[in-house]
Structure 1
Amino acid sequence: MNRMHPLTLRFHDPETERAFLRQLLPRLRLQGRAAIVVGVFVYFVYGALDHLFVPPNQLGLVWVIRMLALAVPLGVLVLTFTPWFEKANQFLLAQVGLSASLGLIAMLWHLPVDSSAYYYPGLMLATFYTYNLIGARFIQALGINVFVLLLYNLLFGFVSAYPDPMLLSQNFFMISANLIGGAAGYLVEYQRRQLFLREVQLDRERRLHLQRSLHDRLTGLPNRDLLDDRMNQALALARRDSERHAGFFVDLDGFKSVNDTLGHEVGDTVLREIARRLVAATRETDTISRLGGDEFFLLVQDIGSCDAAAHLAEKLIRIIEEPVAGLPDMPPISASIGICLFPQMGLESTPEAIIRCADQSMYRAKAAGKRRYQLAQ
């Protein structure tokens, strides 16, 4: 189970962390844009009341500071439409919250002490905004808001020297806003990451279930359903590119004696070994399927010619006849192989027709004495 750092909430596994951030990116784009629009609107509305609390000779200065502060979110808004946002989205979103707080602090620095009753609540709004709306990660929002709290106390507790009771009261509310907003931001990110892990687990289970449903339990080879899908793809490629493919129906000769003399457990071992050999003898683009019992089917794409198909069939018979390690007393086994090249005139272009064609050729090989192959007529 992937673990998270208790403070930063970062996954210990780097690949899991990267996957989480990739999944989060589209939502961050939308959330960041919406939060910036809302924040800019509130910042402007805030300024509509300036004339009630700001001396007339300082209104221009306050609006200059406000517009400088708004330049950051507007710039980030533009960057959300560029590749830069993908590379540095957390840093950019965090700067939006920081600029809102620094703008308010700059206004307070240039205004009389009694104006703080109007602008100071804006810092608490900026605190919640950074933790809970802009989309910054908890640890980054925490760093920004702790920095703002320290800067506020440095400027107005030591440099400007606000009255102690007022500063104490303001600190109480700012710290409370950090505790409440930070706790909410922490829980939201924690739950989002837990949900991501659960989705990854469910997706892994779905893929495993799908793989099991499309593969033979004994050998792990594709089953008939997956074979049909691969053959339909091959047929589509053949129509488009005029390529020639081949189906090999492989039936083991002498396998019944293995089961009868050594038991089904040994027979299963032999089937798994034959499956391994068939996979090793073909290309990654080919499909080896177990149809059931001791019957296998090979879909070999872009076979080229009848001679190439015959050469491969001879190779398959040779590797099947090789002794199985650890079973010195095993009865000899071989294979009868039927080959159907497709597409071809008179043959229906369906997986069922191709398998049936190869199956019929395999029976002709058995009738001719086994341990051989037959090409479809």
Structure 2
Amino acid sequence: MADEINQSVVEDDLRKFKANPVTLAFKGEESELEPHFLLEYATSSLNQLRFALFSALVIYTLFGILDVALIPDFKNKFWSIRYLIVTPVLLGLLIFSFFAYFKRIMQVVSAILVIVSAFGLLGMMWLAPIDLTNFYFPGIILILVMNYGFLKERFIWASSAGIIVVSSYITLSFSVFNTPFLLNVVNSFFLVFVNIIGMFI
């Protein structure tokens, strides 16, 4: 009985808190709680983000093996994107995560991680031969899954990063990618709905 009463009290207290429907930040009288919540959330999420950065760095590095197996003639161009642009950015973000100021901007960093990783893949898809471009498409889905389920991003940052990635893919697929029109339609359809589902997780 006491547990039921305590549960009811907690639920009543939670209903009193008001949140912005888009950013999910505290608003109204509770807005003063937002900075404290962000700091606590950053502290509790820091190790998870470091692990995500390290994992992304390892995965992005190892997938260079696929470049050799799939498109050996293009490996130098792909490795330039992979090892001279994306992985140094990821490594820099991982190192930066050990600085005190990092907690203040870790949500931004999470979004940057997603966008940089995705843009690296999009660059490779742009350069790839017409019959191999789509081989890198699953990587975009993997990045969206990481965005919504692995980085502990807040809704506004995860959604913004996801929308940027999806809209960039759709724009490039119908303008510069060497892939059939129908395949672009199907891929875009899947990406849009993966992103929508991610936003509601």
> Shared fold (TM-score greater than 0.5)?
yes
SS at match of 1:51: helix
What amino acid is the match of 1:62? F
Question: What displacement does 1:152 show?
Answer: 1.5
Match of 2:113, as an amino acid? V
Deviation at 1:147, TM superposition (A): 1.3
Distance, in Å, in 2 between the alignment partners of 1:84 and 1:76 is 12
> Given the alignment of the two structures, is residue 158 of structure 1 paired with residue 162 of structure 2, yes or no?
no
Q: Distance in 1 between matches of 2:114 and 2:195?
A: 13
1:127 counterpart (136, 144, 150): 144
Q: CA RMSD in A?
A: 1.5
CA offsets 1:82-116 (integer angstroms, 9 cap, x no match):
12202211111211111110110011111112222
Partner of 2:17: 2
1:57 aligns with 2:67: no
1: CA distance, partners of 2:116 / 2:161: 10
Matched residues in 1 for 2:197 and 2:45: separation?
A: 22
The aligned counterpart of 1:66 is 82
**Cα 1:73–1:135 shift into 2, 3 Å:** farther
Tell me the residue number matched to 1:90.
107
| Distance of 1:173 and 1:113 partners within structure 2 | 20
Count of equivalent residues? 183
Amino acid at match of 1:34: F
One-letter identity of the residue aligned with 1:61: K
Higher strand share: 1
Matched, 1:11 2:26: yes
Q: Which secondary structure does the structure 1 equivalent of 2:18 belong to?
A: coil
Measure, in 2, the Cα distance between the counterparts of 1:161 and 1:46: 22
Partner SS state of residue 30, structure 1: helix
Task: Tell which structure's C-alpha radius of gyration is larger.
Answer: 1
Q: Retained in 2: the 8 A contact 1:70–1:99?
A: no
Identity of aligned residues (%): 28
Report the Cα distance in structure 2 between the residues aligned to 1:92 and 1:9, rounded to whole angstroms: 19
**Aligned-pair distance for 1:139?**
1.2
Alignment match of 2:56 (pick from 34, 39, 48):
39
Alignment partner, residue 142 of structure 1: 159
Structure 2 residue ranges without an equivalent (≥5): 1-15
Q: Residues 48-105 of structure 1, C-alpha deviation per residue, up to 9 Å, x if partnerless? A: 2222321x23101101101211222211111111122022111112111111101100
Q: How far apart are the structure 1 equivalents of 2:62 and 2:103?
A: 31
* More divergent stretch after superposition (42-51 vs 12-21): 42-51
Q: Distance in 2 between the 1:24 and 1:96 partners?
A: 18
**Preserved CA contact (<8 Å) 1:33 1:80:** yes
Residue pair 2:125, 2:133 contacting (<8 A) in 1 also: yes
Maintained 8 Å contact 2:61/2:87: no
3-state SS, counterpart of residue 132 of structure 2: helix
Counterparts of 2:37 and 2:86 in 1: how far apart (Å)? 31
Aligned residue type for 2:22: L
Alignment partners' CA distance in 2, 1:176 and 1:52: 31
Note closer, same or farther for the CA distance 1:74–1:17 as it changes in structure 2 (3 Å cut).
same
| RCO higher in structure (CA 8 A, sep ≥6) | 2
Structure 1 counterpart SS, 2:200: helix
Alignment gaps of 5+ in structure 1: 185-377
Decide which structure has greater helix share.
2
CA distance in 1, matches of 2:197, 2:65: 28
Matched, 1:75 2:92: yes
Corresponding residue for 1:21?
Answer: 38
1:136 offset after TM fit, Å? 2.1
Q: CA deviation at 1:161?
A: 6.1
For residue 266 of structure 1, what is the aligned residue in structure 2?
A: none
Contact kept, 8 Å, 1:51 with 1:59, in 2: the verdict is yes
Pairing 1:180–2:201 present: no
Distance 1:25 1:149 in 2: 26
